[in-house]
Each structure stands twice: as C-alpha cells, then as structure tokens.
C-alpha cells in the first residue's frame, strides 16, 4: 500500500512561512502536492473566481514537492487541484495553513484558510485547517509541529464524517508547553467593527476598517477558552448552514 496523498493549500500565499512548515510536516506522513494562492488571500472567505481568468503555474519553491501557484482564492486552489492537477487521484487528506493568525469563533466564516479545508469537505475529502494565533510573518511554529503531525495522522487513520472539516487553532508560543488538545465548539463571539473615514492625497474619501473582537461566551467548552488557557482547539465544522432547529418553528408560526 502506497503513501497517503496529501493536498496542501493556504490563504497567506505560497511563499508564507506557515505553508512551508506545513509542507515539511506533511512530507513525513505522505506524498505531498501543493496548490496555493500566488499572493495573500486572507479574509476571502469561500469566494471563488467567476468571470475572470484563473492562472496556474508550476513552481519549484518546495524541493522535491510538486507545487503550483494559483491566481485565485483558496477555494479556487482546492477546486483546481482536484479537477485539474490531480485529475483522477483523490487526496487522502486536504490540509490548509498554517495560517498566521487566529481563525477561532466567527472568524471561521471570513477565513480563507478554512474555506480551502471546507472546499475539501464539500468534495468529500477529509480536511483540516490549521491556524496559529500569531500574526507575525516570522511567527514561531516550533511548539506546534508535533501537534499538527498528530492531528493529521489521526485524520488519516480514523477519517472524518462526510461534510466535516476540522478547524484547528494553536496558542502562540509561551514559556510553558501547550497543555493538550480540546475538542470544542465555536465560541459565541464577534467583531465589533469601526470604520475610520479618511481622505487620500486627491481628496477622495475612503474608509479603513478597524474594531475589536468581543467574546460573549462564558463557557469553558469553546475554542476561545481553549486558546486563552494554552490548549489546542479542534472544532468540527460543516458547510450545511441550515438552522435545523428553526424549521419546525417556522412551520408552526408562519401561515404557510
């Protein structure tokens, strides 16, 4: 039996430190193919390229690993990988990241990292998005490599339910070691945005988005609590956004 086939993507771009670390780790588990954006695509959510050209170029950025840079979004990368690059070969695992910055709580909706993983789940491939809660371009990943390898290995060994992708977040490096791994739910938190009105040198008005992240969740079973307490958070996510509990209420309350 051959090695597992592992597809690697991200949203920080193919030249980021995080994807290089992820490629090295996945190389210990299987045969790796990389398809990643040619430039940063953070905050793109699950956007896809429609009505514009998509360019795909092979690159030798990773030694001994077949890699392609794509002009599109993270979701585009996974689609192109499955339907063009790999063709009749179905990956045993799709991994995305390692993202420079948190993708906990509501950020999963905006995350390009998680869109690549969820696209994998849509295509019926086990998928994981990895994020480190450190926004530095030169972030230190040394304390999480064994955890990344362990989680990916568990998915290869045990699989995932159809339609499920894992959102994995790691605390930044601290003086103490990571305490462990917590299977969590998404915290009830959100960004409270502010828009700073500014003017460019030509006198044209523009806005710069800022704001604060507010956590309304007091529970100890969510991803925000896990990261704050130096645990790895693992949240199973799905692309079915139906509010199933609301269907019966609407059927009962509406005069349909």
Question: What is the predicted pLDDT for the residue at 1?
Answer: 63
Among 13, 35, 139, which Cα is nearest to 95's?
35
Q: Nearest 10 degrees: CA dihedral of 244, 111, 169, 194?
A: -100
96 assigned ligand-binding residue:
no
Whether 122 maps to a domain, the answer reads yes
Whether 90 maps to a domain, the answer reads yes
Q: Which CATH number is 51's domain given?
A: 3.40.1210.10
Domain hosting residue 179, numbered range: 5-187+218-253
How confident is the prediction for the chain on average, in pLDDT? Answer: 95
99 assigned ligand-binding residue:
yes
11 assigned ligand-binding residue:
yes
**Dihedral-angle region of residue 99 (phi above 0 means left; psi in -120 to 50 means alpha; beta otherwise):** beta
- Crossing angle of helices 145-158 and 17-26, in 10° steps, is 50
pLDDT tens digit sequence for 71-89: 999 999 999 999 999 998 9
Residue 29 pLDDT more than 90? Answer: yes
Cα–Cα distance between 188 and 244 in angstroms, integer? 18
Whether 249 maps to a domain, the answer reads yes
Whether 194 maps to a domain, the answer reads no
Domain tally, the chain: 1
Cα–Cα distance between 173 and 6 in angstroms, integer? 27
E-strand stretches of the chain: 5-9, 31-37, 56-59, 66-70, 93-100, 127-132, 164-170, 181-183, 189-199, 205-215, 232-238
Cα–Cα distance between 114 and 119 in angstroms, integer? 8
42 assigned ligand-binding residue:
yes
Whether 144 maps to a domain, the answer reads yes
What average pLDDT score do residues 14-29 get? 97
């Amino acid at each position: 039996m051959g090695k597992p086939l592992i597809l690697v993507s991200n949203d920080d771009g193919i030249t980021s430190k995080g994807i290089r670390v992820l490629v090295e780790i996945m190389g210990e588990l299987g045969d790796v193919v990389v398809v990643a954006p040619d430039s940063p695509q953070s905050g793109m959510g699950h956007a896809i390229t429609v009505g514009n050209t998509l360019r795909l170029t092979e690159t030798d950025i990773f030694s001994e690993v077949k890699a392609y840079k794509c002009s599109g979004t993270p979701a585009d990368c996974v689609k192109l990988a499955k339907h063009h690059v790999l063709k009749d070969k179905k990956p045993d695992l799709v991994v995305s990241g390692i993202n420079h910055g948190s993708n906990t709580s509501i950020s999963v909706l905006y995350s390009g990292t998680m869109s690549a993983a969820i696209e994998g789940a849509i295509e019926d491939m086990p998928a994981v998005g990895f994020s480190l809660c450190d926004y530095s371009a030169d972030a230190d990943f040394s304390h999480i490599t064994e955890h990344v390898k362990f989680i990916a290995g568990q998915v290869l060994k045990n699989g995932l339910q159809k339609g499920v992708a894992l959102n994995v977040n790691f605390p930044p490096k601290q003086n103490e070691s990571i305490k462990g791994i917590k299977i969590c739910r998404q915290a009830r938190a959100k960004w409270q945005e502010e828009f700073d009105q500014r003017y460019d040198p030509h006198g044209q008005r523009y806005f710069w988005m800022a704001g604060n992240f507010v956590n309304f969740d007091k529970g100890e079973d969510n991803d925000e609590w896990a990261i704050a307490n130096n645990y790895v958070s693992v949240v199973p996510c799905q692309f079915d956004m139906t509010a199933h509990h609301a269907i019966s209420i609407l059927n009962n309350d509406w005069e349909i």
